[in-house]
Structures are given as structure tokens and as C-alpha cells.
A and B are shown apart, each in its own frame.
Chain A
Amino acid sequence: MFDQVSLIPTEKLKIFRDKIKRAGREKIALQASSVDEEEFFNREVESLLWDLGLLTITFPPKYGGYGKGRMVAFCIAVEEIAKYCASSALLLIIQAVGSFPIIHFGSDQLKKEYLPQMSEGRKLVAYLVTEPTAGSDIAGIQTSAVKDGKDYILNGSKCFATSGGVAGIYSVLAKTSEGRGKGSSSFFLVERNSPGLSIGRTERKLGQRGSNTTEVFLENVKVPAENLLGRGGDGFIIAMKDFDMSRPAIAAQALGIAEGTLEAVLQFAKEKQTSGKPIAEHPIVQTILADSAILIEASRGLVYRAAILSDEGKNNTKFASMAKCFAGDAAMKITTDAIDAIQVLSGYGFLKDFQVERMFRDAKLTQIFEGTNQIQRLVIARQLLRDSM
């Protein structure tokens, strides 16, 4: 019914999508409620996602990457998985986000060493940027990396690290010089078993509870100088480029959540009857269904526009932010209204037995992470002003 392929009609993508769709429906869907309820990271789902090749889509082809059209493929994967389980889709996103600095800015030597560990050794990657005092304001980080002979010594505390407690490899942003300037920070590849690296508290969240979110502490962690990603001072630029990839993906996740919600409401509305009539025939329910579908189609347009621009090698910053902002807000509205739609004539919308309740909680995160939607608006406005100069 929801055919994103009509926007990007290649046979290879269709086959790819159908494979994910099937896995989503037959496997991912079955565990979505339990990972939410019990708040655990499901290793079986992780294995399944590796088997499907989804945790390496954005890698170079020889390490399991999709190749040409990979951004669209990545968004399709996230969207399809998120229809059933947003937490599982988040794992795909963070794997791509965390590995981005390594894939695009690691030395050939470093890539030769670590990419096989990730793709064949099936190591998860986490992205250690956010700190207690530095959220949207990346330049505000306190974690430091000080050169010491052939090594860097890292010290600091990271928080809200998705996959923080389950990753084998981290991309860590740390300050390499004083001040708040754009050239004051750098990314480093840090291994999980490095002495001095420890995992703090696992956060308990409103939604996307099947994802693992932790604090990570770095205390005199010694990192070889070769693990510097890009040149010293490239940290900010790398983070910005990473956003161009992650924001359409978050948008795709929001789109998937919205579609999964609409599907659940449609199914419920057709099956559930009151006074001998399916509640789908009720005008209130129909209005909610129609409004949801409008927002979904508009989100889809923005998500794949941003993805296609990226695959064409063009700047997609503005569209990435537009997609993230619009699709996140849309998912929030759709999931909020969905509870009403089910409630209207049945009284069951807010019960935990119904998956829309989980989707409502999951959707909220899409408005927040990878830059809040307020930040997205600033990015869009800045880009518009720059373009009109």
C-alpha cells in the first residue's frame, strides 16, 4: 500500500525492500512489544539485522555495503523496520552514524583493520558525542584528548549514547585544542576494551526502550595517534556531514512509525464494530485516517528527496533537516491522533495491549535526537539565507 519504490523505481531496490518487509513482518514485529515492555536489547534481532546485511548498508561495498544508491537503500531499511519496531530501526541508524567518521575519515590502514572487525566480526559501533552539558551545542564538549608521544589520552563523560553498552567500537568526539572554535575538536576510534573506558548508567526512556542508551566514561584512555579520524580539528565538520546522513534516516524512522501506526489503526477500524458497523465508517475516524495519510505521503517525499540528493553527491543539508523536522512532527501528530481513533468508539486506545500506545512513545524521540526540531529549523533558515545571497 505504501509504495516508496514508486519514487525510486529500480528492480534491485524492490527486491531489497521486499526482503526487509518480510523480515519486519515475520520476525521484527513479534518481539516489538516485549523489548518495549522489558526494556532489553534483543541480541536475536541484532543477529537478524546482521544476516540481512542491514548493519553494513552504508559501508563500502567490499565490507558489505549497498553500493550505488546506498542512502535510499538505508532509508528504506530504516523505514521498513520502524513500521514494526522503532527500537530495532534505531540500531541501524546508530550503526551508520557511529561508523560514518571511520568509513569516511579513517586512514586506509585503520579501515583495513577495523571495517572487517565490524562487518565480519559483527561489532556494533556507537557514537560518543553528547555530554551532560553539550547536547545541541556540540562545541560545548568537555572531553579532552591530549597528545602524549604516539598516543592521545582521552578524559571525559559521554551520555545518551545509543548502543553505548553493547558496542565494540566507538567514534568519540574530544577537544584537541582550547576554545570553542570549529577546529577545536576531533574524532577518535576507541575500542570497547580500552583500559579506562567504562559504561555508566543505562537510561530508562519514554520510548524506543529496546535500544540501549548509556553513559560512557573515559578515564585516561590511551588511544594510538593513528586512531585520529580525519585531521586534527576536523571533528565539527565530520559531525555536520554525519548529520546529512543521519537526519534523513531519523526522518525515515519517523515515517516508518507513522506508517506502522496507520496500518494498525486501519486494521482495527475495519475489524472493530459498534452497532453492527465497522468504526472505519465513522466520520471522525475517517478524518484521522485521511489526515495521517496526507502527512505520511508528504513525509515520504521529503525523506527520499533528501536521500536521493545524497546519493547524487549533492548537498542535502536543507532537505535532510526539512525531512527530519517534518516527518518527526508528523509522526508525533499521527501517533497522538491514532490513540484517539481507536479510543473514539472502543475505549481501548490508551491501553498497553495496543501497539499504537508504544508507537506514540517511540515517536517523541524523533523530534528530539540528531538535533531537536528547533535546531532543524535554524539549519533550514540558515541554508535559505545562504542560498539567497
Chain B
Amino acid sequence: MFHLDEEQRLILQSVREIVQREIKPQAATVDETGEFPWNAVRVFAKNDILNSLLPRKYGGVEVSYFTFCMILEEIAKVCASSALVVITQAEGTLPIVYGGDEHLKERYLRRLAGDSQVLAALGTPEPTDGSEILPLKTEAVLRGGKYIVNGEKCLMKNGSIADFLVLYAYTDPSKGNDGISAFVTEKGSAGLVYGRDENRMGMRGCPRSEIFMEGLEIPRENLIGKEGEGFSNVMKTMSASRLFTAAQGVGLAQGAMEEGIAYARKRVQFGKPISHMAPIQFMIAEMAAGIESARLLTYQAAFLFDREEWKKASTHAAMAKFTASDTAMKVTTDAVQIMGGYGYIREYPVERMMRDAKLTQVHTGTNQIVRLFVARDLTGSS
């Protein structure tokens, strides 16, 4: 059904090799230390992975969403934190791709071309009940050709290290969602105050930062699109982000299943490898079926993005997100189970994968909220 063309096969083969050689050996250390995987950034930048969605027009390779999902899968198989580096980069770039004018695109997207290691980040507020964005406590006031921004953003992925950040703020709070605007701001801008990076249970390689905007000055030309376009911009970006989380979940699950199977074939109990035992076989069959279902749904959503059927893509990305991440949670938990005591210790990667999988269920909207989105899309209710 999914036929890969020659270029896609070459890309994936190359990503697979790079990931096995450069990323896999460091995955445990990245988790253990909780330090940002700068090496992954260098490797990904050098190999056209870091900004693979970047349009050709601005010097990027511009792979399809489908290819991008397969790339994320390959990375997440061995290190979800490193996959998150690439996802976060896309999240910080897409709002400009989707909504920026030519001038803004030239200024920011161009900086990501080639083997650039410039990092982008997205200050998206966590969506809550689907109809509004909370807590959006940020306001921007236009004064003398500049926006003065006050507010805060918690748990921003890569917030403390990104070179430029996309932020959302009310330019007209009285209009609700239609009064939200999107901006790009630079690291180190006056009024951009960095709080603490939170200590997390999973995907520990990527910081989640508190960001405070205390009279942050943003030049008028750094408004993305027009005033009031922020809400649709963030919604579109979040949809893409859910697609990427789905791909990450599929990869995580695949990686954990492969670890579980390899162990089950080696581990001898009661005179035979445990892979010959029905209870273990049940778990493996369930894992594989879950992964394949999630993968198909994810690819389906990716195709809709590639065809720019945004509305349908958004619903499918949401379905793929909760399906793939729930699958990742179940598969990683069962992979630990298959490996028993060995699964539970940090010498083996599956316990890390289990902690990482939990995050795929809760970020870019918890799976409960994302289910509400889907139901509302289908029923037309609010």
C-alpha cells in the first residue's frame, strides 16, 4: 500500500544508519544526565535531518510529511529525546512556514538552511477543553512600531536553548481567539526572562522551560501574518505536532517491541526460549497488531497533510496521536513485562522507553482532550 520511491528509500536507509551509529549509543546517557543532546543536533544538522521539512525555496530539502514521519519513527526507535529535538524544531518552524509573509520567511527560514544548527521552539499554550487556549495569559501591545509583550509560558520545549521562539499573545483580548497573534522573538531579547527547566520523568534530554515575558520588545515585522491570525496558526501547527507525536509513538513502540522480541528469543526458561510460550506470544502479537494499526493511521494522516486537506488532516492527526501513543504506552509496558527483572533495570533501554511513552500520551494535548477534538470534529458539537 505504501510504496516508497527511490529517494525515500535512500533517505530512510541513511537515517537508519546514522541513528544506529550516532544516536543509539548515546540514548541512555542523554536520559541519565537529562542534558540536551547537542551531538544529535550536530549529526542531524549535518545530514539534512534537523530541518527536513524546510521548503526548498529557503534552502531546505522539503521532504513530505509522510517521509518526515518515517524519519521520526527511525529516530524514536532508539531515542525519543532525539526525535523530540527534530519535532521541536519543526514546531518552531511551521508557524512561520504556515503564516509568515515573504519577508519574515526570508529572514528566519533562511537561517535554518544547509547544515545550520540554529534552533527554533514553539511557545504553544497547552490546549484545554478545545474551544479556548489556556493558560494564555500573554498580551502584546503595539507601541511605537514595537510590540511590548507581557506574560508567561510554562513547560516550553527547548525554550531555554532555542535561538528563536514563536510565541502567541492577545493583541486584542476582547475578541477572544480572534484576538490572538503569533510572533517570533530572538533568544536573549530584552524582557525575555528564563525561569527554571523542569525535571521530567521521560524524554529527559529536552528541556521544558519556564519563560517569562516582562516588557519583551518584539519588532513589528516579527508578527507572523496579521494580527488575529494566531489562533488558526497555532491550531494548524498543533495538528502537525500531533502527527509528529504519533510517528514518535510508533517508533518508540517499534523499538520496544524489537527489544522485547530479541530478549524473548534468547531467554530460556522451563527448557525453552520464552518466545515459544503462549502468554509471551500473545503479548508480541498484540504489540505488532497495535503498532501496525497505529502506523497506518499515522501514514494516512501524513498523506492528508501532504495533500493539504487540512481539516481532515487535523482530525486524522488527532486520532493517530492518541492511538499511537496509547499503543506506545501499552507496548513499552509489556516489553518491560516480557523482560521481567531485566526490563525493570536501567541497564536495558525498555524502562526508559516506558517513561518516554508516557509523555507521548500527554504532550501536544493529553489523549483525553485529543479524543474530545475528534468527537467534536465528527459531531460538530463544541
A interface with B by C-beta (< 8 Å): 130, 133-137, 139-140, 159-160, 180, 203-207, 274-275, 282, 284, 332, 336, 339-340, 343-345, 347-353, 357, 360-361, 364-365, 367-369, 372-374, 377-378
Contacts and interface: CB of A to CB of B under 8 A. Distances in A.
Contact of B200 (A133, A206, A351, A360): A351
A135 B341 contact: yes
A137 B270 contact: yes
Nearest to A282: B129
Contact of B367 (A332, A340, A348, A351): A340
Contact of A347 (B155, B283, B367, B372): B155
Nearest to A352: B199
A350 B270 contact: no
B368 A351 contact: no
B138 interface: no
Contact of A206 (B351, B361, B362): B351
Contacts of B134: 274-275
A378 B280 CA distance: 12
Contacts of A332: 333
Contacts of A282: 129
8 contacts: A133-B268, A160-B341, A206-B346, A274-B135, A336-B358, A340-B361, A347-B154, A349-B362
B340 A206 contact: no
A351 B269 contact: no
B368 A344 contact: yes
Contacts of A345: 128
B337 to A, nearest CB: 6
A364 B346 contact: no
Nearest to A340: B366
A359 to B, nearest CB: 11
A205 B345 contact: yes
B70 interface: no
B16 interface: no
A350 B362 contact: yes
Contact of A339 (B337, B340, B362): B362
Interface of B: 126, 128-129, 134-135, 154-155, 198-202, 208, 268-271, 279-280, 283, 329, 333, 336-337, 340-341, 343-347, 351, 354-355, 358-359, 361-363, 366-369, 372
B362 A343 contact: yes
Contact of B269 (A135, A203, A339, A377): A135
Nearest to B369: A344
A368 B345 CA distance: 12
A121 B351 CA distance: 38
A374 B367 contact: no
A205 B340 CA distance: 12
B345 A339 contact: no
Nearest to A365: B344
A275 B128 CA distance: 11
B201 A350 contact: yes
Contacts of A367: 337
Given A344-B369, A351-B198, A357-B201, A136 B344 contact: no
A364 B354 contact: yes
A357 B355 CA distance: 9
A274 to B, nearest CB: 6
